[in-house]
Amino acid sequence: MIERSLHELARALASKEISSVELTQLYLDRIASHDPQLNAYISVDPERSLAQARQADARLAKGEGGPLTGIPIAQKDIFCAKDWLTSCGSKMLSNFISPYDATVIRRFAEAGAVLLGKTNMDEFAMGSSNETSFYGPVRNPWRLDCVPGGSSGGSAAAVAARLCPAATGTDTGGSIRQPAALCNLTGLKPTYGVVSRWGMIAFASSLDQAGPLARSATDCAALLNAMAGFDERDSTSLDRPGEDYARDIAAPAGAKPLAGLRIGLPKEFFGEGCRPEVMRLIDAAIAGYRELGATTVAVDLPNMKLSVAAYYVIASAEASSNLARFDGVRYGYRAPEYRDLNEMYGRSRAQGFGAEVKRRILVGTYVLSHGYYDAYYLQAQRIRRLIAGDFAEAFRHCDVILGPTSPTTAFRLGEKASDPVQMYLSDIYTIAVNLAGLPGMSIPCGFADGLPVGLQLIGDYFTEARLLNVAHRYQHANPWHRQAPTGFV
Amino acid sequence: MSLTLEQVRRVAHLARIEISDVEAGHTLDRLNEIFSLIEEMQAVDTQGIEPMAHAQDLAQRLREDCPLESGRLAMRDVFQAIAPETEAGLYLVPKVIE
């Protein structure tokens, strides 16, 4: 049961081979026995999940089930879910029981999916290793002394260890794609504005985008179909006609299913900086794509080298503004002792935020402060346009861009925790995609020394259906995504 | 460029994050490492390039300034139930005006 795709699970539920209550209980039992090793979940609430499963069973009995009805899904703890602890991995929100549902949570509930639990994450999604969580680090199911990546590390570890059929993540600078790469998963960051940010705790509002973390492109398409759509409540949500993201995958295909597809290979993705054992597998994947009929073309992203610098200005600036709301007044942590209002703010924030979050708030406050705004923030936004322009030019010559997702495989716990700059460079291949607002995926493409390697696919705006198909055709011919870590079956 | 300890203390004050002298020293080192990464941006000539704030270059959508939710008073109780300290529908903070 735990190796079945979402589509197969939906069939099993529709044919009464298994009930949603049984399926949910199966995963709750797996979480109880295996999660103590991984720490992938922050909250599990069997009563609540099983109640939702019973409702799903009633709906299925009436023949009113959809593709996700009755299927348990793990939600990153960044999404507000009514009556659930919604901590965002922070002490600041360690007492925050959300009074409302995020749009993503509501959409899954309307589809009849079961909320299986809330997954661990880097504090306020700031991190690439899941080590900044107030709830402790998550371990990688492929090697327990390694990180699962971040910030959606709990979701990634949970899907990889089969402690849920699929999960959600959010991606501000690579937080879906990098953990997908490090845990042998398929992850998609949609075009900015496709999935509502309402009720998704904000880190950097102009970059944050939610998406699916699952085992295959087919599963990601099913999840995106539930997640995507215009939302009046998110002022940056895009009002576009609905679409079926699985339509290209469902189309018939011959022996050369990707004939005519032009894959752009940016030389900036293939220079030094990427570990040779990772690059070998990326080269092999390119050969795999040629066998499927695709052609390759060299493209150039000359400003990509500036993306990390521009990102840490823009993301930190937006974070310092977004996180100003955590003041110990209306919700969240308040320091026990203070003499006046300023001391209450200062201590609540000093005690409620962890070191990395505080660093980014300070960087952001500095770059937005009087006299520095033009030199840092506006300069970063200008570079952002140059980077977006590079992609626009590249997409005149190709349909998708391909490269590594991460320069390394999963690194050891603690290896980069004390060196923020080294940690930031872990996202060197993913950040530019967020700055440009493009859709990007990571799919499994093999193993180096027993650890998974991820292949990144980047599409032009709103080409998620094609991107998912490009991922699917590769997975069909090269089923690396079917490999599961031992010790969790 | 290098930050000073005084600048770190000032930024921490602006951000309303209490910081001890020991922490300020440690934070200074980390911030300087981060700013040395950010500095590479400064050499780029961006004259005439329009800053990009939004991936689709869209303006913020506007709507009528009226509540979308019904039952606002009931909602107030729900929201205040998770507040550190409230009284009579108000959020309580230390006295600001003598």
The reply to whether residue A346 touches residue B11, judged by beta carbons under 8 angstroms, is: no
CB A312 within 8 A of CB B34: yes
**Closest approach of B24 to chain A, Cα-based (Å):** 11
CB A26 within 8 A of CB A56: no
Least confident of A253-257, A287-291, B54-58, B90-94: B54-58
Alpha-carbon distance B92 to B98, whole Å? 15
Which of these, B23, B50, B49, lies nearest to A362 by C-alpha position? Answer: B23
pLDDT at A370: 86
The reply to whether residue A363 touches residue B82, judged by beta carbons under 8 angstroms, is: no
Using a CB–CB cutoff of 8 Å, tell me whether A106 touches chain B: no
Of B34, B41, B84, the CB nearest to A421: B34
Each residue's pLDDT expressed in tens, for chain A with a length of 489 residues: 999 999 999 999 999 999 999 999 999 999 999 999 999 999 999 999 999 999 999 999 999 999 999 999 999 999 999 999 999 999 999 999 999 999 999 999 999 999 999 999 999 999 999 999 999 999 999 999 999 999 999 999 999 999 999 999 999 999 999 999 999 999 999 999 999 999 999 999 999 999 999 999 999 999 999 999 999 999 999 999 999 999 999 999 888 999 999 999 999 999 888 999 999 999 999 999 999 999 999 999 999 999 999 999 999 999 999 999 999 999 999 999 999 999 999 999 999 999 999 999 999 999 999 889 999 999 999 999 999 999 999 999 999 999 999 999 999 999 998 888 888 888 999 999 999 999 999 999 999 999 999 999 999 999 999 999 999 999 999 999 999 999 997
The reply to whether residue B78 touches residue A424, judged by beta carbons under 8 angstroms, is: no
Cis geometry, peptide bond prior to residue A151 (ω within 30 degrees of 0): yes
Does residue B13 sit within a domain? yes
The crossing angle, in degrees rounded to 10, of helices A20-38 and A6-14 is 140
Using a CB–CB cutoff of 8 Å, tell me whether B72 touches chain A: no
- Residue labelled with tokens 């200005």: A313
pLDDT band at B56 (very low <50, low <70, confident <90, very high): confident
Using a CB–CB cutoff of 8 Å, tell me whether A392 touches chain B: no
Which residues is A440 bridged to in the sheet? A189, A458
Residues in A closer than 8 angstroms to B37, CB to CB, are 308-309, 312, 421, 424
Contacts of A238 (CB under 8 A, 6+ apart): A191, A193, A194, A230, B56, B58
pLDDT band at B1 (very low <50, low <70, confident <90, very high): low
Least confident of A241-250, B21-30, B69-78, B82-91: B69-78
CB A206 within 8 A of CB A458: no
Q: Tell me, what CATH number does B37's domain have?
A: 1.10.20
Of A99, A206, A362, the CB nearest to B31: A362
pLDDT at B60: 79
Alpha-carbon distance A230 to B37, whole Å? 37
Which of these, A285, A466, A313, A474, lies nearest to A382 by C-alpha position? Answer: A313
Residues in A closer than 8 angstroms to B38, CB to CB, are 309, 312-313, 376
Active site residues of A: 76, 151, 175
In the predicted model, is pLDDT for residue B98 greater than 80?
no
Domain that holds residue B30: 5-43
Does residue B15 sit within a domain? yes
Does residue B25 sit within a domain? yes
Residue A25: C-alpha distances to residues A47, A62, A486 (Å): 10, 22, 22
Q: Of the CATH numbers 3.40.30.10, 3.90.1300.10, 3.30.565.10, 3.30.450.20, which one belongs to the domain with range A6-259+439-482?
A: 3.90.1300.10
DSSP string, B3-66: --HHHHHHHHHHTT----HHHHHHHHHHHHHHHHHHGGGGGS--TTPPP--STT-PPPP---SS
Alpha-carbon distance A186 to A176, whole Å? 9
**More reliable by pLDDT, B77 or B67:** B77
Per the structure block, which two tokens stand in for A196?
């509502």
Residues in B closer than 8 angstroms to A330, CB to CB, are 79, 83, 91
pLDDT at B61: 83
Alpha-carbon distance A134 to A94, whole Å? 8
Residue A487: C-alpha distances to residues A35, A37, A166, A446 (Å): 12, 10, 19, 19
Residues in A closer than 8 angstroms to B82, CB to CB, are 95-97, 99, 331
The ipTM is 0.95
Read off the pTM: 0.97
Give the other-Cβ count within 10 Å of A469's Cβ.
25
The reply to whether residue B18 touches residue A350, judged by beta carbons under 8 angstroms, is: yes
**Chain A nearest-CA residue for B16:** A346
Number of domains in chain B: 1
User: What is the end-to-end Cα distance of chain B in Å, rounded?
Assistant: 43
What is the pLDDT averaged over residues B49-70? 84
**More reliable by pLDDT, B98 or A451:** A451
Of A313, A350, A376, the CB nearest to B17: A350
What is the β-pairing status of strands A451-459 and A440-448? antiparallel
The reply to whether residue B55 touches residue A191, judged by beta carbons under 8 angstroms, is: yes
Which of these, A419, A448, A408, lies nearest to A174 by C-alpha position? Answer: A408
**Closest approach of A446 to chain B, Cα-based (Å):** 32
Does residue B33 sit within a domain? yes
DSSP string, A54-121: HHHHHHHHTT---TTTT-EEEEETTB--TTSB--TT-GGGTT-B-SS--HHHHHHHHTT-EEEEEE--
CB within 8 Å of chain A, chain B residues 18-57: 18-19, 27, 30-31, 33-42, 44, 46, 49-56
State the sign of the Cα–Cα–Cα–Cα dihedral A286, A174, A436, A468: positive
In the predicted model, is pLDDT for residue B96 greater than 90?
no
CB A432 within 8 A of CB A307: yes
DSSP letter for A410, please: P
